[in-house]
A = this chain, B = another copy of it.
């Protein structure tokens, strides 16, 4: 539970930065080298490196080095916990709305009697 929570925090934090989301979207097209990723962002290499390590730390990407080139690729299933959390929340939230509906209906009915 606690660890799960940490995972979620890391995921959400990783996704909270527009640059990182842009990198993810770019990587969704095709794997890319670090320099390829730096280009569009207009950021310096070390800065991009940092973003990449955040993404990797959250499990959203994997990287591997071949010679002097590091290739970054997306980990599609990494978003699953986020999706699961969202689904859970929606379920709770909707259950609450249902209870609210029931409550309102009861009040209405009581008033009609």
Contacts and interface: CB of A to CB of B under 8 A. Distances in A.
Interface of A: 5-6, 8-9, 12-13, 15-18, 21, 24-25, 28-30, 74, 76, 79, 82-83, 85-86, 89-90, 92-94, 96-97
B89 A29 contact: no
Contacts of A93: 28, 74, 76
Given A12-B13, A25-B92, A76-B93, 13 more contacts: A5-B21, A9-B16, A9-B18, A12-B16, A13-B16, A16-B16, A21-B85, A25-B89, A28-B93, A28-B96, A74-B93, A74-B96, A76-B94
Contacts of A24: 89
Interface of A is mostly: helix
A94 B28 CA distance: 9
Contacts of A6: 18
A79 B83 CA distance: 11
A19 B23 CA distance: 28
Contacts of A28: 89, 92-93, 96
A15 B18 contact: no
Contacts of A96: 28-30, 74
